[in-house]
Chains A and B, each alone.
Chain A
Amino acid sequence: MSRHRNVRSINVNEEYEGYDDVYGHSVEDDYCVSPSEAAFMYDREGSKNKQKIGAFFQSVNDIAEENEGENESKEANLSDIDKARLESCVDQIRQIVSSGIPRQELVNIILLYNFNVEKAINFILGCPQYNHITEKKAVVPKDVDPSNIKVVTPGTKTTNITKGFDLVQKEVNRLNVTPRSQSPASGRATPTPDQNDEGKNLKQKESKFDVNVQYKKERGNAKENLYMVVIGHVDAGKSTLMGHLLCALGQVNQKTMHKYEQESRKVGKQSFMYAWVLDETGEERNRGITMDVGRSQFETETKLVTLLDAPGHKDFIPNMISGAGQADVALLVVDATRGEFETGFDFGGQTREHALLVRSLGVSQLAVAINKLDTVSWSQERFKEITQKLKLFLKHAGFKENDVTFVPCSGLTGQNLTGKPTENELLQWYAGPCLLDVIDNFRTPERPIAKPFRFSINDVFKGTGSNFCVSGRVETGTLSLGERILVCPSREMATVKGLAIEEVSQQTVFAGDQVSVTLSGIDIQNVSIGYILCLSQNPVQIASKFQARIVVFNVTVPMTKGYSVVMHHQSLVEPVIVSKLINQLHKSTGEIINKHPRCLSNNSSAMVEIQASRPLALELYSECKELGRIMLRVGGVTIAAGLITKIVL
């Protein structure tokens, strides 16, 4: 029942972007409201009775909006047929781009392009003023568009309600029904929460309401947390670049750095001295490559950045996926050396795969560091050449053009990392920001703190004392000290004994934080990497069979029924079987083009059924984006990315 509260305090504009066209419904319609509040509300009850859509739209225009007059005059001139065309155009556009654009602006655009939907959409997508609201119609639905508004305050409620007027009645119903029918209490194999207790629900609502306030109180003044994953082809210089950056920011003390320098010289790998800051195990240092995700923290002017240094080597992509799954933004490092960039990009290198992976994992902002430019004597042509190639590819991969920034730099010499470059050759043509500024300019995505609590485990280790710790990321919701939590899919209860972010203990943690949780009342054997923690009154769904909508990348052998693949879901790596190919879909429109296809080849999109050998903790993409994404890999190559659309059990 706490969901009602969620809906109530939702900032519809933020929340439902990427949720197709479901916008603007408020629970207030079903509730009693105080007269003072009611004065601000649009009375939908009247329109609810009239089922005619046309009539519905008529009433819409009666609501006063900015520039209403102008719009009226234009629309009034249209014939009835044109009006109908206009309505259908508006609907179509709204299906593709989300709700944020005022209606009469849409109308103007449509009239401008003479009812041509394609052109109108292109205009909207291309127009920078709509960037904060538009959404590309790529196949993998996009994440919530990050914006700087961090806290969903109840104050925005009234405006949200008015957003909903062009809703067709059907959609209203859908919104009404979906969360309830898919509530965990609907008889799934999960433990039944005792939810009849009205008093408890009330209390819960109260606490949920407090969450926003509390979040604001605790985090309002501090620097924003940002999680950044560093990706790129093997030997692109990711660790060195980051090591040097940390060093330049004073995160590594002189003594340690001196030690690394001495030791790395001893083994004849002096160029690896910065990489040693992040590569700590003996194995990694000896081989000179990163094998597992290295973590570190540094501060920029406005942000507290947690750095996840992903391995670039092909064999360690599973590690990279678990790192990237926790990141908000990504830094793609490419090697500018002649030949090196080409191997990393064109000839089956990891640059492409990594970029596709992070995009599919929901990372929408990307900075590209063109590294090792010193080896080509800071040539502007080389920089341009690489930039152009990457721009085209990244656009294809679904990154918005202005969410991608290119920075020339050198990890080893430290040029353009934290301050203005000193090399004259670079200064001649480059006047843009340095790497640190680019990182500082990233927008922090909105944290879904009001949603039910979900936490994905990516490490289990023994802490100090008798208990053990799990670390991972709070995907949604909040967790406080002392709460009872449910470990899924093993369905064991445990108590939270301690919470810590980067070794600093906390009372409450919020969505987006990477936390180590000390658990008690559960055996370490019953917890493993990839498990989900949730609250027992709102558990995650557990199933071994589900349907997903997938996009197949470049594959050497086509995917057939019964294909065995490795599925990555958060930190979980699990062998699964594609048990059924249900429909093949059109890549951009999502129409069914082939029922029961025999096989899926390159670049196709399809609905498939996936069977795992044991139950897994999953969520529908529509309910929880973070837990609704999957990756499929075969033989060390990522072959598909998907979204969970239906849970079969």
Chain B
Amino acid sequence: MKLLYKDVDKEGEGTVGLIAEEPEDMWHAYNLISEGDLVRSTTIRKVQSESATGSSTSNRVRTTLTICVENIDFDTQACVLRLKGRNVEENQYVKMGAYHTLDLELNRKFSLKKHEWDSIALERVDVACDPVQTADVAAVIMQEGLAHVCLITSSMTLIRAKIDVTIPRKRKGFVQQHEKGLNKFYDNVMQAILRHINFDIVKCILIASPGFVRDQFYEYMFQMAIKTDNKVLLDNKSKFMLVHASSGFKHSLKEVLQDSGVINKISDTKAAGEVKALEGFYTMLQCEPAKAFYGKKHCESANEAQAIETLLISDNLFRCSNVALRKEYVKLVDSVRETGGEVKIFSSMHISGEQLDNLTGVAAILRFPMPELEDEESDDEN
């Protein structure tokens, strides 16, 4: 993301001009824009014009529109952000108040005006515009008959392909069917890798599985690569890394990102940091339950006592349409920072973020035990 200008006054009202450069920036934009914001960008609109004789023609024109956002749609697979709202600036093609749906495009400037830029939003702009490129990692999580091919970027984990085949079990005298099914499965996974992974960008490809599936697959893949003389695979052989995982389901990615070998290789990705933080929370919950709490109510009471050392919060909570609720969460984050606590904002697109979302979206590790909180009725009903 490129920041063109930032014009935010003391009250927090103002406009920011941005250019999205990669698909991931769309994710940041999705997290920035909330309902009621004004977005100005160039777009294509179908305009109908009526000639003097009464025949109507329609043609598509490129025009710049400003809309007041009413509906936000994010396609995670294609990384496309779609904003729907009413036009607030009339021009020759579009009347005031007419509905329009903006598709934010890559490499085109857009400006975002908010009535209130809170700390979270401003921080998001900073993060998004950080030019330091983090390593892109691809991972293949597999078990016999099931594989997920995913891309892990700094703030998103994208499932690119899911391969789910039934492989006949080995049975007396029918071993061939099992082995044939297995080979077909490996072939599918290999095709998915070739199709979805861009070896120029990806720095490392993790192949994770229980048992020997990964070794078998690795062997199969390179045998096939030699057979078909696939240069791309052979050139990138060193990028592959075999890791243990307990199953082929998506959440096993968590285990993969905790593997020490993987941490060394991808060191600074947000994904690995988040997994570690969440693990820390669970460990604390096991060892000292009075120092780990989750749920909004518990976290807020802990914050009142200035007890929060680390706050884990999912960005999902800041995307809610309820402005008052969002403000409460922003206040929580700000006050934790003020009291010297650390705040980790999890991306809900990562595995750990997904898990945090299921765990009410907010969790805290405390400085000192607060057993009195345990007796309080938690609010995990909502």
Query: Which A residues lie at the B interface, using CB under 8 A?
Result: 280-283, 287, 291-296, 313, 315-316, 318, 458-462, 471, 524, 527-529, 555-558, 560-564, 566, 573, 575, 577, 579-580, 596, 598-599, 601, 633-637
Contact = CB atoms under 8 A, between A and B. Distances in A.
Contact of A575 (B172, B250, B282, B381): B250
Interface string B332-365: 0000000000000000000000110111100000
A283 B216 contact: yes
Contacts of A292: 169-170, 178
B23 interface: no
Given A295-B172, A461-B177, A601 B380 contact: no
Given A562-B359, A599-B285, A461 B174 contact: yes
Given A281-B175, A556-B286, A561 B212 contact: no
Given A281-B178, A529-B166, A596-B377, A564 B358 contact: yes
B210 A316 contact: yes
Contacts of A471: 171
B247 A596 contact: no
Contacts, number: 114
Interface string B235-274: 0000000001011011110010000000000000000000
Contacts of B212: 283, 287, 291
B146 to A, nearest CB: 9
A598 B374 contact: yes
A291 B211 contact: yes
A599 B175 CA distance: 45
Nearest to B374: A598
Contact of B170 (A281, A458, A524): A281
A296 to B, nearest CB: 7
12 contacts: A281-B170, A295-B172, A458-B169, A460-B166, A461-B177, A557-B279, A557-B283, A558-B285, A562-B358, A563-B358, A598-B293, A601-B286
B71 interface: no
Contacts of A634: 246
Interface string B204-220: 00000011100010000
B380 A315 contact: no
Contact of B179 (A281, A557, A558, A580): A281
A133 to B, nearest CB: 39
A598 B378 contact: yes
Query: How many of chain B's residues touch chain A, expressed as a range?
Result: 35 or more
B168 interface: yes
A371 B168 CA distance: 32
A198 B283 CA distance: 61
A316 B211 contact: yes
Contacts of B36: none
Nearest to B373: A598
A308 to B, nearest CB: 12
B177 A557 contact: no
Given A575-B250, A598-B374, A313 B211 contact: yes
A82 B306 CA distance: 60
A239 B15 CA distance: 71
A170 to B, nearest CB: 32
Given A316-B211, A575-B250, A460 B168 contact: yes
Contacts of B374: 598
Nearest to A602: B286
Contacts of B354: 564
Contacts of A563: 355, 358-359
B171 A528 contact: no
A280 B177 CA distance: 13
Between A281, A291, A292, A461, the greatest number of chain B beta carbons within 10 A of the residue's beta carbon is seen for A461
A509 B380 CA distance: 48
B294 interface: yes
B246 A596 contact: no
B355 A562 contact: yes
Given A562-B355, A566-B247, A575-B250, 6 more contacts: A281-B175, A316-B211, A555-B286, A561-B360, A562-B358, A566-B249
Nearest to B377: A596
B17 interface: no
Contacts of B178: 281, 292
B14 interface: no
B210 A293 contact: no
Contact of B166 (A295, A528, A575, A596): A528
A560 B359 contact: yes
Given A316-B211, A557-B286, A558-B282, A596 B378 contact: yes
A563 B246 CA distance: 16
Contacts of B381: 596
A462 B181 CA distance: 11
Contact of A635 (B170, B172, B246): B246
Interface string B61-93: 000000000000000000000000000000000
Contact of B210 (A524, A564, A596, A636): A636
A360 to B, nearest CB: 19
A562 B357 contact: yes
A561 B298 CA distance: 14
B351 to A, nearest CB: 9
Sort A-B residue pairs by CB-CB distance and give the 7 closest, nearest first: A562-B358, A636-B246, A461-B168, A315-B210, A557-B282, A315-B211, A562-B359
A561 B250 contact: no
A46 B336 CA distance: 72
Given A562-B357, A577-B358, A280 B166 contact: no
Given A295-B171, A296-B172, A562 B360 contact: yes
Interface string B15-37: 00000000000000000000000
A471 B279 CA distance: 41
A471 B216 CA distance: 26
Contacts of B252: 635
A466 to B, nearest CB: 16
B358 A461 contact: no
Contact of B289 (A460, A555, A579, A598): A598
Contacts of A316: 210-211
A295 B173 CA distance: 11
Contacts of A573: 247
Nearest to A565: B251
B282 to A, nearest CB: 4
Nearest to A598: B378
A368 to B, nearest CB: 26
A280 B170 CA distance: 8
Contacts of A575: 247, 249-251
A287 B359 CA distance: 41
